[in-house]
Amino acid sequence: MIKNYLKIALKVLSRRKFFTFISLFGIGVTLMVLLVATALLDYVFAARTPEVHADRMLGVYRLTMQGPDDTETTQPGYAFLDRWVRPMTKLPSVERIAFVTEAQTAISYLNGRKIESAMRRADGEFWRVLDFDFLEGGPYTAADDEAGRFVAVINETTRERFFGGQPAVGKTIEADGQRFKVVGVVRDVPVLRYASSADLWVPVTTAKTSAYKEEWLGGFYALILARNHADLPQIKAEFQSRLREAEKHLPDPKTFKRLYAGADTLFEGAARLFLPGGRLEENPGARLRAALLALMLGFMLLPTINLVNINLSRILDRASEIGVRRAFGASSRTLVGQFLIENVVLTLIGAAIGLGLALGVLRAFNVSGLIPHTQFQLNFRIFFYGLAIAVFFGLFSGVYPAWRMSKLHPVQALRGRSA
């Protein structure tokens, strides 16, 4: 049965080439845009090096302090994290907790050439919460951090810039007027991985002053690695209750009275960062998901109307066929099914074209180097999403024309009239 439908579908497609072309062009371009967007999101949020355990990792990326006059939102400060988040290591569901600063630009001058590197200060645990690809050497340890040793892990790009790609372990690198001994080199991490990406990682204790130890706001992230994905809700709840407790011990209770933050997944962290009002929510992830879905549907609106329009105008093409089938007793439900399948077949062919186009666009992105250290790829997961989107698009744009076709009156249809 299905095989028969497929045969008819392909026959119809090859009958009017111009129509097939404009339909496929629309579907292909639409799915190309959606696939590129999906690949981008996947690149930012999915589990991959170094956030191999992204599914059981939470981060405290933003802290908002609110008072009667002022509201300040920025990264949490070391003092806040040290007092209220670090003790969570004792929870049985938490494996370990790492502290790392936001990336800052560090300037070096090498033979009169200026080099800007993104630098993060990270503790020893950072290297155990995340899983970097080491090309040579290894991470520094918690002991190095406590002793304030001037050691550094650099990425491939930094090795290329400073040492011309030669082995770098044991050599010295200067950044922002400080000198570090290189202990390890890792593969580049794309800048879109906002919790980990940098060109240069050095111990927290090498900061030029120790003022950061007193600060509630500014500079730091805490990364919490849970033992199991299932423990995340419980850890989030625990974090919220600690936040309520912290409100009773604010350093300047006159200016600021309320605290807002969350133990967020990478996706929720981005929502807290970019969604208006997200900083005050306990769980802004759901709203970002809804916003992305709305954006996708909004984008698909015009292509859908276009495809519906084209399909409807072709009813006449099929009128005699429909008339014969109705006359021989096919129910309208059967016909709706048949036309839907036809439309889905059409969108799947379009999706294949879209996939090809998306590959081209992503390759162009990679070659252009618009986003540093980024090599977009299409993986199985994105392919699956793309398939789901294509089927959805096919059904979405096929329902109305299929229903209209099935409503053709047999006598009228056999005479070759559409209305």
Partner 1 sequence: MTRHLLKLVWNRKRSNALMILEICVSFLVVFVVATLGLFFLDNYRLPLGFEWKNAWNVHVGLGRSEAGANPSGDFAAQQAVYARLLQEVRAMAPVEAVAGSWVVPFDQGGMSSTYDVNGRKVDMDADVVTVGFDKATGLDLVAGRWFEEADASQAWAPVVIDQDLARTVYGAADPVGKNLFDPRPGERPFRVVGVVRDFRKGGELMPNGNFIFRFASLDHPDGGPLRNLLIRVRPGTPAAFEEALVKRMQQVAPDWSFEVRPLPQVRATSFLFFLTPLIVAGTVAFFLLLMVGLGLIGVLWQNLLQRTREIGLRRAAGASRAAVHRQVLLEQIVLTSLGVLIGTLLVIQVPILHLIGVLSNRVLTAGLLAAMAAMYLLSVLCALYPSALASRVQPAEALRYE
Positions in the binding site for partner 1 (CB under 8 A): 18-19, 21-22, 25-26, 29-30, 33, 65, 70, 72, 74, 77, 104-107, 109, 112, 114, 176-177, 207-209, 211-212, 214-219, 251-252, 255-256, 299, 301-303, 305-310, 312-314, 316-317, 415-416, 418-419
Is the separation of the CB atoms in 272 and 262 below 8 Å?
yes
Taking Cα atoms as reference points, which of 198, 105, 206 lies closest to residue 151?
206
The distance of closest approach from Cβ of residue 72 to partner 1 in the complex, given in angstroms and rounded to an integer, is 5
Give the β-pairing of 200-203 and 113-122.
Answer: parallel
**Nearest distance from residue 341's CB to partner 1, in Å?**
22
Q: Please tell me the distance from the alpha carbon of residue 222 to that of residue 286, in angstroms, as a whole number.
A: 22
Minimum CB distance to partner 1 smaller for 92 or for 112: 112
Between 2 and 419, whose beta carbon lies closer to partner 1? 419
Contact 361, 303 (CB under 8 A): no
CB of 319 to partner 1, least distance (A): 10
* Comparison of 130 and 346: residue with beta carbon closer to partner 1: 346
- Nearest distance in Å: CB 210, partner 1: 9
- Least distance (Å) between residue 311 CB and partner 1: 10
Residue 59, Cβ density class (10 Å: 0-12 exposed, 13-18 middle, ≥19 buried): buried
Measured from the CB atom, the residue of 218 and 284 that comes closer to partner 1 is 218
Q: Three-class SS of residue 229? A: helix
CB of 20 to partner 1, least distance (A): 10
Q: Phi and psi dihedrals of 225, rounded to 5?
A: -100, 115
Cα angle: 375, vertex 377, 380; to 5 degrees = 155
Residue 266 CA neighbour count, 13 Å, CB half? 22
User: What are the structure tokens assigned to 117, written together?
Assistant: 């590197």
Residue with tokens 């099935």: 406
By C-beta, is 109 or 274 nearer to partner 1? Answer: 109
**Contact (CB, 8 A) for 54 and 46:** yes
Closest CA to 218 of 416, 89, 65: 65
Cβ partners under 8 Å of residue 255, min gap 6? 67, 69, 70
What are the structure tokens assigned to 126, written together? 């950072």
| Residue 146 or 252 with smaller CB distance to partner 1 | 252
Whole-number minimum distance, CB 407 to partner 1, in Å? Answer: 12
Cβ–Cβ under 8 Å, residues 346 and 397: no
Looking up tokens 């191999």 gives 52
Residue 261 DSSP symbol: E
How near is the Cβ of 54 to partner 1 at its closest, in Å?
Answer: 27
Shortest reach from residue 22's CB to partner 1, in Å: 4
Residue number, 275 or 330, with CB nearest to partner 1:
275
Of the pair 32, 183, the CB lying nearest partner 1 is at: 32
Q: Residue 46: what are its φ and ψ, rounded to 5°?
A: -75, 160
Between 132 and 221, name the residue whose CB sits nearer to partner 1.
221
